[in-house]
Amino acid sequence: MDFAFAAEDEAFRGEAREWLAGHADGTQDRRTWERTLGKSGWIGIGWPEGGYGNRTATLTQQVVWAEEYARSGAPARSGHIGEKLLAPTLLAHGTDEQKARFLPPVAAGEELWCQGYSEPGAGSDLAGVRTKAARAGDGTYRISGQKIWTSLAHEADWCFVLARTDPDSPRHHGLTFLLVPMDQPGSIEVRPIRQMTGTSEFNEVFFDGAQARADHVVGGEGNGWRVAMSLLGFERGVSTLAQQIGFAQELTQVVQAAVRTDAVADPVVRALLVRQWAELRVMRWNALRTLGGSGDAGASSAAKLLWAGWHQRLGELAMLVRGERATVGPGEWSASSPYELDALQQLFLFSRADTIYGGSDQVQRTIIAERVLGLPREPKGVV
């Protein structure tokens, strides 16, 4: 792909930067911030024109917006699952009625979504889903089972759930993609999972007879695997470039810490810092090279392997340059705040999960081996 920013892209950059400077003041809670974005049409700029309340933008302008958003220090998004995952899936597989019902509230920042895929026994092995959805006499589906590592489920209004509608079906057969309202007291329970960082972005979600309407099945009953795999392809893309802006900011913090502690006097540390910088530049150009491409079964897996390992090494380097101070929190311990971490400690602890969530390194290598290199599939039952 011949990627370059044209004059109209730079004009778009100026508009985006000016708007963010005037609105991203950090005082709004995340749900209010989503509505602020929605009112100005900044949600769903990558969608095609369809009257859903969003503005449209070219691929390069989407990159510009993602970069400027990351640079602005605007609040972390809580609507990205609906915008970046659900919406493209509905545009590809949904009915006209489903698009008309669900896309405008996402574009307006009014309805937040979470993703009901992973389960205690089906995380990396998504085909092992055991959550069941049975058709009731009134035409609705009744869902029973457990999902885990469900990001932002405690804030979400809706969840797209992969469930087994044919209890006798093997593996990826007999699965269905359902849109489920989260406001069902007694039928849906959300339990936050406290992480090493002390925060709780992820959750366990328990379904006990939760209802989903028949017209809220996406892609038809039994076609959930096809829809789910299509959705996973949307997880990478423009957002990767915005992620790299955040990585660059974190690398700058690590370099500054190395200067403060005089760790840069060590030639080994200097070499590690330069390697992180060089690898980040390579990741950016690789992302730009593959952006907008299609048909490369291994591109997203290769990208995940690259950034997950890089970010984890950055977290380790953040602790190395701090020396013994890395083991001490930023404030004195007290009963009211027993678990405080600074930014670099947060980086180190959170990055330990990078090579696991979103598809573990082992799964990504298997995808590349089987779908790109054509190697024999791993024998079943091998440990």
What positions carry a catalytic annotation? 235
Under 8 Å between Cβ of 301 and 367: yes
Q: State the CB neighbour count (10 A cutoff) for residue 56.
A: 15
State the Cα–Cα distance between residues 368 and 303, nearest whole angstrom: 11
Under 8 Å between Cβ of 20 and 40: no
Position 326, amino acid: A
State the Cα–Cα distance between residues 79 and 107, nearest whole angstrom: 9
Enumerate residues 6+ apart whose C-beta is below 8 A from 220: none
State the Cα–Cα distance between residues 195 and 211, nearest whole angstrom: 30
Position 209, amino acid: G
Cα torsion 72, 74, 79, 80: sign: positive
Position 36, amino acid: T
Enumerate residues 6+ apart whose C-beta is below 8 A from 136: 142, 211
143: nearest Cα among 180, 169, 171 = 180
Q: Are strands 217-218 and 175-181 parallel, antiparallel or unpaired?
A: antiparallel
State the Cα–Cα distance between residues 109 and 30, nearest whole angstrom: 10
H-run or E-run covering 181 = strand 175-181
151: nearest Cα among 81, 83, 102 = 81
Under 8 Å between Cβ of 147 and 133: no
Residue 264, judged by CB atoms within 10 A of its CB (0-12, 13-18, 19+), counts as middle
Residue 130, judged by CB atoms within 10 A of its CB (0-12, 13-18, 19+), counts as middle
H-run or E-run covering 203 = strand 203-212
